[in-house]
């Protein structure tokens, strides 16, 4: 879950490194510094933005167009009416510490992720697994409690990457995977450096060194691009400067889509927010287009449910929660609400901070006092995501096809809907595309009509790169800066 303001003159000077990057190295700009480097131990999208497909690999992986591709599993078979998956593993694979990757590592990884004491932030991905059994060194059989057509996709998430038991306890500071790059250095508050892994089992990357530099301030990010301090900023935090960068032939502006449904989550354990009339009033108080124009400089697509508009099964339900402030006041009166005060917790990304200011003003206009608290990322993850100590918060949920989070009773916004749970359970066993689409649209409609959260906009992927770079992802089907195909044009 995604996954910033003025730098001093001295800081800008430090960013002005030589404009010409070596042909086998790259410097990537990122807004947020990850709290750790273990993608199986924390929900921060910034972790995957560094390590996904670079340091760690899963049985499967997402390609740049969102399709599920083979990774450490070169192929797989589905047996026993969809209850068993047999994965055939690549041979000759080593972890960065020299250990061989075998079926036993798959057993360890998945058993660890689904254990009672698991701290995996997406433990729900593994709940359907009944058993993981090796069949020799390079074949593993996974038995499910019930058929799950999305299982190969679940194994492509960053939370499902394969681990070595010997190094698993130290991944937060020293990530050890099987990917084409190995961890070199983490300079806290500044950067993470990866270098090419010489014993990589697959196709070697063109790059030998990658530096991920953390630049939270939009003005500093722009200065870093202009000076050559970074070669690419895949999630550029200063969209107001994109026109200027696009006019400069040194750069290429890359605008694509993400899986990031940007929502204002509501804590259903709050007594007032447990009333659908209050949730509906809040939704009708918010003008999405004002937020897209004012906070995102026009980049973003309005959404009316928790689903990506580029997906074929998407339903446009924005009219259900259209901007109607008078209706908001009527609903609050019907609910007997007078003088409601709510806390709005905002994590660091500019989309959240900027949107939050606009939303607070819109809510105050209908009589809802809104107190903003700006939080650092670690504080938001601990207090809001883990502790559910909030009333309202703004966040982009960047995981692919994640509408099933509304069926998790213990998820941070504490939403409960038995009808939705039944639909999600049926979705897991749906046989064909037509049935899957019907169920996905039912789920979208249920949460939209129940005003489960306030659905704002689909986060656009607005990036900037040196015009000589090739292979960067245009879209973001998962949080990642996949460098496996990135190269400098000759």
pLDDT at position 140, please? Answer: 98
What is the structure's pLDDT at 423? 96
Question: Long-range contacts of range 110-118, CB-CB < 8 Å, 24 or more positions apart?
Answer: 110/142, 110/160, 112/40, 112/163, 112/168, 113/40, 113/159, 113/160
Task: Check residue 2 and give its pLDDT.
Answer: 38
| pTM beyond 0.85 | yes
Name which of 220, 219, 239 is nearest 15 in CA terms.
Answer: 220
d(CA 218, CA 43): 24
Give the helix/strand (H/E) hosting 353: helix 350-365
Give every CB contact of residue 214 below 8 A, 6+ residues apart in sequence: 30, 31, 32, 33, 189, 190, 191
| Those residues with Cβ within 8 angstroms of residue 373's Cβ, 6 or more apart along the chain or in another chain | 343, 344, 345, 346
Q: How many helices (H) and strands (E) does the chain have?
A: 13, 19
> Could you tell me where the DSSP H helices lie in 297-349?
325-334
pLDDT reported for residue 130: 97
Provide the pLDDT for residue 19: 44
Q: What integer pLDDT is reported at residue 105 of this predicted model?
A: 98
Going residue by residue through the chain, which has 490 residues, state the pLDDT in tens, using 9 for 90 and above.
433 222 333 333 334 444 444 589 999 999 999 999 999 999 999 999 999 999 999 999 999 999 999 999 999 999 978 899 999 999 999 999 999 999 999 999 999 999 999 999 999 899 999 999 999 999 999 999 998 888 999 999 999 999 999 999 999 999 999 999 999 999 999 999 999 999 999 999 999 999 999 999 999 999 999 999 999 999 999 999 999 999 999 999 999 999 999 999 999 999 999 999 999 999 999 999 999 999 999 999 999 999 999 999 999 999 999 999 999 999 999 999 999 999 999 999 999 999 999 999 999 999 999 999 999 999 999 999 999 999 999 999 998 889 999 999 889 999 999 999 999 999 888 878 899 999 999 999 999 999 999 999 999 999 999 999 999 999 999 999 999 999 999 8
Q: Backbone phi, then psi, for 429, in 5-degree steps?
A: -110, 5
Return the pLDDT at 9: 30
């Amino acid at each position: 879950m995604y996954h910033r303001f003025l730098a001093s003159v001295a800081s800008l000077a430090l960013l002005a490194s030589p404009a010409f990057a070596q042909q086998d190295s790259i410097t990537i700009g990122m807004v947020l510094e990850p709290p750790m480097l273990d993608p199986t131990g924390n929900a921060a999208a910034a972790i995957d933005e560094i390590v996904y497909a670079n340091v760690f690999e899963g049985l499967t992986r997402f390609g740049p167009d969102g399709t599920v591709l083979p990774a450490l599993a070169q192929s797989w078979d589905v047996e026993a009416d969809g209850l068993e998956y047999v994965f055939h593993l690549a041979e000759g694979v080593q972890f960065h510490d020299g250990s061989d990757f075998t079926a036993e590592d798959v057993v360890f990884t998945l058993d660890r992720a689904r254990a009672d004491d698991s701290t995996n932030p997406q433990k729900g991905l593994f709940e359907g697994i009944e058993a993981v059994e090796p069949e020799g060194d390079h074949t593993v059989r996974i038995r499910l409690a019930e058929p799950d057509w999305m299982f190969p996709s679940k194994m492509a998430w960053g939370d499902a990457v394969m681990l070595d038991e010997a190094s698993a306890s130290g991944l937060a500071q020293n990530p050890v995977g099987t990917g084409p790059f190995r961890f070199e250095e983490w300079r806290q508050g500044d950067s993470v450096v990866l270098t090419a892994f010489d014993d990589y089992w697959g196709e070697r990357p063109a790059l030998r060194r990658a530096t991920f530099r953390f630049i939270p301030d939009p003005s500093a990010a722009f200065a870093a691009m202009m000076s050559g301090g970074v070669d690419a900023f895949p999630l550029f935090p200063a969209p107001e400067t994109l026109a200027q960068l696009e006019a400069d032939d040194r750069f290429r502006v890359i605008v694509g889509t993400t899986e990031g449904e940007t929502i204002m989550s509501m804590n259903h354990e709050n007594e007032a927010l447990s009333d659908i009339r209050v949730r509906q009033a809040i939704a009708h108080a918010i003008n999405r287009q004002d937020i897209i124009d004012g906070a995102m400089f026009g980049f973003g697509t309005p959404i009316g449910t928790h689903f990506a508009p580029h997906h074929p099964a998407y339903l446009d339900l924005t009219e259900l929660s259209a901007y109607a402030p008078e209706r908001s006041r009527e609903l609050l009166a019907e609910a007997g609400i007078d003088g409601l005060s709510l806390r709005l917790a905002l994590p660091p990304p500019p989309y959240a901070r900027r949107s939050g200011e606009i939303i607070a003003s819109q809510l105050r206009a209908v009589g809802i006092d809104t107190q903003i608290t700006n939080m650092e990322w670690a504080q938001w993850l601990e207090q809001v995501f883990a502790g559910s100590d909030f009333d309202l918060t703004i966040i982009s949920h960047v995981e692919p096809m994640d509408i099933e989070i509304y069926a998790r009773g213990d998820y941070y916004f504490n939403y409960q809907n038995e009808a939705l749970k039944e639909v999600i359970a049926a979705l897991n066993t749906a046989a064909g595309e037509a049935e899957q689409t019907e169920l996905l649209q039912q789920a979208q409609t249920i949460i939209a009509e129940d005003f489960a959260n306030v659905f704002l906009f689909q986060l656009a992927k607005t990036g900037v790169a040196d015009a000589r770079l090739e292979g960067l992802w245009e879209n973001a089907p998962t949080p990642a800066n996949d460098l496996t195909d990135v190269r400098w044009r000759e």
